[in-house]
Structure 1
Amino acid sequence: MQIRSRAALAAALVGATLSGLALSACSPGGASSEDDAANTISIVGFAVPEAANKNIATEFNKTDEGKGVRFQTSYGPSGDQSRAVAAGLKADYVHFSVPTDVTRLVDEGLVADDWDSGENKGVVSTSVVVFGVRDGNPKNIQTWADLVKPGVEIVTPNPASSGAARWNALAAYGQVISDGGTEEEATEFVNKFFKNVVSLPGSGRDATTAFLGGTGDVLMAYENEAILAAQNDEAFEYILPDTTLKIENAGAILKDASKPSQAWLDFVLSDEGQTQFALTGFRPLRDDIDYGGTVEGATDPSNPFPEVPTLLTVDNDFGGWDEVSTKFFDEENGLIFQAILGAGLSLE
């Protein structure tokens, strides 16, 4: 089963014009285009952290290492963006939803083998899977079991292109196992889940847009995406289930990255960088990050990141991404892809 025309998709993305962020002053008069290129960081990422990265870049430009640094950015579905970089899209720093989108670039010789050997293990931002619901929660969605009731319409992005979709699907499967269920019962739940799906947009951001436009009763989302929507005056209620999955987004610089790119990655991981992630709804990597204690847009701004009673992780509960990629997302026999096709949905 070929999910999509990879070559055509990558070529289209490579041909797309990168959008420049107006984050720093213009180069001094007389500076050459080569100088500009050497002092520019090209960021290629999945759609959800665009606002956070923009805020981090603003703060980075205030530092000695970031003074005068320019940014070019390209955001879209994580898998599509990764394939585009592999096909030639210029990137100095990549920020993807799932680590396998970075390891694709390792396999292509574009990212160093030890990209995830640091203390952060390649993770630059984290969140958790939540349920977005309509105002007043008219379907009374509280638990995973509520999602598979008759008549409940779900919006979740397409795992063929979106990393967010993969986190959502793994959370749906894993919560059954965590509650003592068998793999057969978890598979049955996932099959029921996708039979209630009415929209599979290309990315997590596209899924949010579809939900805000009136599609579905429930949006499978990152917690930070729900918080950011509220910050942008597009609020919807969200439910943090008692059992959910920790989302760990990967970031890396490429082997031929521009000179300031390493300093940028270091800043992203610093207290200052993680503070900006927190203020846009991401859970910071470290518990001691001082973001002021309040995050506007959260259900409770004074307690924006409540503890999850049972927080699953890919490494501890699924055996790591190598196992996950084969078992759940193989194009021919992956459990999640089979559930989608079995529900009559398209992976295109």
Structure 2
Amino acid sequence: MKKRVLTASALLLSLFTLTACGTDSSAPASGESKKEITLTLGAYTVPKEAFAKIIPEFQKEWEKKTGQKVNFQESYEASGAQARAIAGGFEADIAALSLEGDIDTLTDAKLITHDWKNKQHGGMITTSVVALGTREGNPKNIKDWEDLTRPGISVLYPNPKTSGGAQWDINAIYGAGLKRSDEAGAKDLLARIHKNVKTMDKSGRASMTTFENGTGDVVVTYENELLLRNIEGAKYNVVVPNDTIKIENPVAVVDKYVDKHGTREVAEAFVDFLWTTESQRAFAKTGYRPVDPQVAEEFKDQYKTPPGQFDISFLGGWDKVRKDLYADGAIWDRVLMGK
């Protein structure tokens, strides 16, 4: 069964050639009855390895159940960039993004019209925490956020203007500062850490690759990114700060495009498949924290829950975070300008 992995920009150029892969983009729901059908997945970069395990299992199950072969067009981009690509015309049937705010971009564009949170686990398929990755043995003795402000410490995190992972990173730092001080103190902690940032890549995956290539003393990233590297044979130290944020990663069917392509039934089945025990184990084996309680219990020794863990509600929810931290002229812009 065919599976193609493309960037969002490449997929935008190929929207009119998808009929060769089994999807007639001008066809109504009759596409559902074809012997072969194509789903287009628009995802953020980090779960690529998990989807590589999950997609073949879904293909086998769907063909056994319906007799229909499912091909996948896959695009992996920084979450914010992916959301903007879908809103701009990349016809993804399913959006698997880093954060709720990027799904909101598609809702605001009237591409997602159903209540995507009215699903299992509120529409979230995985969780994680923001963690710190250091070189083997933790030679700079990094233990918590304040250590990232020390002279001579080289820090990596991606750009929150393009990366959902980066927004989780910045939220974690700012929230940790709020737990210990006030808004001024939280901004000060963020500013002092940012002074030591060596580079800001487009995505969390790109930032991790830069770290793997030898740049930086510490990378601020998803815990699952670090666990995956260690599962694959790396020897990074995974430092979970005492105060850090719980990451929640959503998925949703993109209503406008599945109805246009005639793929709603299979797209909804694939999304539901992401909550099965089998899929949740695949996520866990690539470092994510499963949302399924049974699977989470199986893998509990893989994770550390920090005593000061908080979620996005501690910062007032995503609407407040977007306004206070990431709007033009807000806290993040002032940190960049040194104000």
* TM-score bracket, shorter-length normalisation: 0.7 to 0.9
Stretches of structure 1 that go unaligned for 5 or more consecutive residues are 1-9, 19-25, 28-33, 294-301, 344-348
Equivalent residues of 1:14, 1:85 under 8 A apart: no
Q: Which residue of 2 aligns with 1:319?
A: 316
> Quick check: 1:329–1:337 contact (8 Å CA) kept in 2?
yes
Structure 2 CA distance for partners of 1:112 and 1:84, relative to 1, 3 Å: same
* SS of equivalent residue, structure 2 residue 303: coil
Whether contact under 8 Å (2:120, 2:275) holds in the other structure is: no
Q: Which residue identity lines up with residue 242 of structure 2 in the other structure?
A: D
Residues of 2 paired with 1:262 and 1:38: CA distance? 17
Partner of 1:284: 290
Measured in 2, the distance between the counterparts of 1:160 and 1:16 equals 24
Quickly say closer, same or farther: Cα 1:159–1:288, change in 2 above 3 A: same
- Counterpart of 1:337 in structure 2 is 333
2:253 aligned partner: 253
Percent of paired sites with the same residue: 34
C-alpha RMSD of the superposition: 2.5
Per-residue Cα deviation, 1:297-342 (whole angstroms, up to 9, x for no partner): xxxxx81012221211002x01110111100110x22212321232
Q: Aligned equivalents of 2:165 and 2:34: distance in 1?
A: 34
**Structure 1 pair 216–38 and aligned structure 2 pair: CA distance change class (3 A):** same
Give me the TM-score of the superposition, normalised by structure 1. Answer: 0.83
Q: Is the 8 A contact 1:65 1:260 kept in 2?
A: no
Q: Does 1:142 align with 2:137?
A: no
**1:226-249 alpha-carbon deviations (Å, 9 max, x no partner):** 111123334422211122110111
Using the alignment, how far apart are the partners of 2:90 and 2:153 within structure 1?
40
Equivalent residue number for residue 127 of structure 1:
128
Shift in Å, 1:145: 0.9
TM-score by length of 2: 0.85
Deviates more, 1:37-46 or 1:68-77: 37-46
| Equivalent position SS for 1:39 | strand
Mapped partners of 1:46, 1:310: distance in 2: 27
8 Å CA contact 2:11–2:90 kept in 1: the answer is: yes
Counterpart for residue 205 of structure 1: 205
In the TM superposition, residue 115 of structure 1 has moved relative to its aligned partner by 1.2
Distance 1:78 1:118 in 2: 21
Superposed counterparts of 1:58-137, under 5 Å: 58-63=56-61, 64-65=64-65, 68-137=69-138
* Conserved? CA contact 1:65–1:263, under 8 Å: no
| Structure with the largest fraction of helix | 2
Is the Cα contact below 8 Å between 1:275 and 1:291 reproduced in 2? Answer: no
Corresponding letter in the other structure for 2:54: I
Task: Return closer, same or farther for 1:327/1:14 CA change in 2, 3 Å cut-off.
Answer: farther
235 and 43 in structure 1: CA distance in 2 versus 1, 3 angstrom threshold: farther
Alpha-carbon contact 1:77-1:162 (below 8 Å) kept: yes
State the alpha-carbon separation in 2 of the partners of residues 286 and 201 from structure 1. 32
Distance, in Å, in 1 between the alignment partners of 2:297 and 2:88 is 38
User: Deviations for 1:186-210, whole angstroms, at most 9, x for unmatched residues?
Assistant: 1111111111101100000000010
